[in-house]
Amino acid sequence: MGKTQKKRSMRRHNPMRVPDSHLPKGLASASASSSKTEAILPIIQKMESVDPLERKWACVAVSNLIQNDPSTRRLLQGKNIVGHLITRLSDSEEEVVVEAAGSLRNLCIDGGFDICAEMYNKNILTPLKTFIPKISTTLSQFLTNPKDAPENAQKLVYEFADNVITIIWCLSETSNKALNAINQISLVPFLMSFLASREKLPLSTVTSAAQCLYVLTDENPPMIEEVRSNAEYTACLLTIVRPEEPTTKPNGKDKDTSDARAAALRVLACAILRNVSPIPPPSIAATVDLDRDVVLPTLEPVLSSTDLQEAAQAAQRAIDQYEPIPQLENLSLKGTPKSDHKTPSELELERLETRLRTVQLALEILTGMCATLPDPEVFSGASGADGEDDNEDEDDEDMGDAEDIDMTNEEDSGAPRGDAPQPPAFFTTLVAPLLKFVQPTALSFPPLGAPSPHPPTTSALSAIHISALECLNNIFLSMATSARGRPSSLGLDPASGRMVFDAVWGALRLVGTEITAAGQERRREMWEIGVGVLWGVGNLFKGSLAPTEEQAKVLIEFCNATADPHVKVKTIGTLECLAQHPESIETNKIISAYLVSLLPPAANPPTPTEPLLQAVNALIDIYSDETLPYDVNFREGRYLETLVQSVEGVRKAVRGIDRKKERELRIRGEEVRDNLVAFIQYRRGLRL
């Protein structure tokens, strides 16, 4: 049961908006594609026109057409639209260059990693590198003499800078090869210049620079060292989080958007500071406890002020008022809006998405902080946290720790219910809010067999649910390894465990079990991570959680359906915990019969090695105490005979583990094998 690692793919504020799995198939798709192909040919032709107005029109048309429309995007890709747009980055007309960059930015956002890889392979970095010093020079001139430049000229440069920065940030997440190439560009001073001049620049451009820097400092030593070693940079980041003077805010309709972006910028600054920590002197950032004094006080209001149900309802209202983008056949040279044109409903949806992505980022930061058991003082009402993100390379060790814990059931019948200890502060201030974020909304997932009414909102909501589950996974794994089978040592009683288990199970029930269809990948991911949380809670409160037969049957069905051996291990671990409730004899029978069915030689198809070891370990753990009421199932089911028959198959599976490539698994396999033999001898000796 490993701790959740940081996921680079989840760093995107705007991951691929419309998965290609939503694309229609068959004859209807072919017919629609044929008509669209005819319509986009003029766009490709105008891209090469001698008339700059037509070239600009073609770039804008591409930007408008690809929004949330993967089928059109694929058709354009087939016509080498990426190559055509990269060529236009060297156009003699500035406005064509700006619009081409805008279209490439939108392709990055809407097309995901594949299209970013295509851009990298077609050498987009060559023109991008030439833009950076030009933008820096122009930016410096604007800041020095703002009155000398017309407002529309400044706006054009800021939007262009935003597009270039966003493309670089997306490319950096494409591959290590692309990241290494980007590391060769002098980007840190460029990006920090936007953050340092944030009061004089559009907040959207500054936020893009911060997002890019955040991604580039994520486990990327060259960039980390460049930021960490510059005291001015780290002091600037700290000032963003804790400004010495209140920033001026716009009034009216722009206020909500500005507030959302300002919150996003503060959270990004926290994330960058954590990425580059520990920060050495003489930076002022070296004098503060980042988690306790900076990070948590910033994250707490972001999380506490967000209601996902309200956000989903607001998004639905904006969707209902959505004005459609121009249809392909209706585009004209004069009537096409600029690539940055947004309707009121689009602006509202964009504001909501910014808020939701900020919450997602806050949860990702918490996930790293919760890689170790939270310091009780941190969450006791004080404003901060303690503990570094030290989850690297601990998964295997932690898995072993979690599974080898003696989870003897604690007797609490002697203590009156009124005297039960109150949950510790970190439990109520951290776990309870996280449970709120795992509950799905009406827009959290695409409907079965159909695309989402607004994929960006759906993507953001589902990412929040998953990030919250990942954070809970780390919390309960850390609790289990720290409590060593005694949850009361953490101030927790079984009622706390029941509350968490029921909340997570309730969320998974709302997600549903239809998780294998195209477009439902996020539902499946919810189950895969959620079952890990259930295992963590079950390990901590083993023997105290009364399961239902429905829960056992659904988990068994899920375990059979998943092909991922690690997910099977987590599911079997959860079933093991539920089977150890002493009074739930019938549910124990259902679970144990399933675990026995996974053993060799009867298992068909053969159970993969890791799930097999987990199943053997589970049966040993469940029936290690013959005095428990449910032990009747072991005797009546003649499980001892089945275990004897499985020994040779288990030995063969362990011998098949490569000692050099999978040393930890081989060691664990040998332990399980030896424990199985010893357990059989023990049960035989009982003569029951």
Burial track 280-290 (b if 16+ CB lie within 10 A, e otherwise): eeebebbebeb
Quote the DSSP letter at residue 674. H
| 432 lies in some domain | yes
Q: What is the structure's pLDDT at 518?
A: 83
Percent of the chain whose predicted confidence (pLDDT) is above 90: 59
Q: Which residues, 6 or more positions from 493, have their beta carbon under 8 angstroms from its beta carbon?
A: 412, 420, 421, 423, 487
| 16 lies in some domain | yes
| 480 lies in some domain | yes
Q: What is the structure's pLDDT at 410?
A: 37
Alpha-helical segments (H) within 145-187 = 151-172, 176-183
Residues for the chain: how many in total?
688
Classify 143 as helix, strand or coil: helix
Q: Looking at residue 176, which CATH number applies to its domain?
A: 1.25.10.10
Give the model confidence (pLDDT) of 9-55 as tens digits.
334 434 444 445 444 444 444 445 555 667 688 888 898 999 999 99
Tokens 């392709």, residue located: 107
Quote the DSSP letter at residue 242. S
How many domains are there within the chain? 2
Classify 520 as helix, strand or coil: coil
Last residue of a domain, one of 159, 185, 211: 185
Give the model confidence (pLDDT) of 486-513 as tens digits.
666 666 788 888 999 999 999 999 999 8
Please say if the pLDDT value at position 134 is more than 90. Answer: yes
Residue 565 domain boundaries: 395-408+420-686
| 533 lies in some domain | yes
| 643 lies in some domain | yes
- Cα 53 to Cα 66, 103, 171: the distances in Å are 20, 16, 29
Q: What is the structure's pLDDT at 245?
A: 59
| 385 lies in some domain | no
Alpha carbon distance 584, 576 (integer Å)? 13
Please say if the pLDDT value at position 337 is more than 70. Answer: no
Question: Encoding tokens for residue 206?
Answer: 């500054």
Q: What is the structure's pLDDT at 383?
A: 39
Last residue of a domain, one of 185, 204, 224: 185
Confidence band of 385 (pLDDT split at 50, 70, 90): very low
Alpha carbon distance 359, 436 (integer Å)? 12
| 209 lies in some domain | no
| 230 lies in some domain | no
Last residue of a domain, one of 166, 185, 204: 185
Q: Mean pLDDT throughout 469-487?
A: 80
Contact 496, 432 (CB under 8 A): no
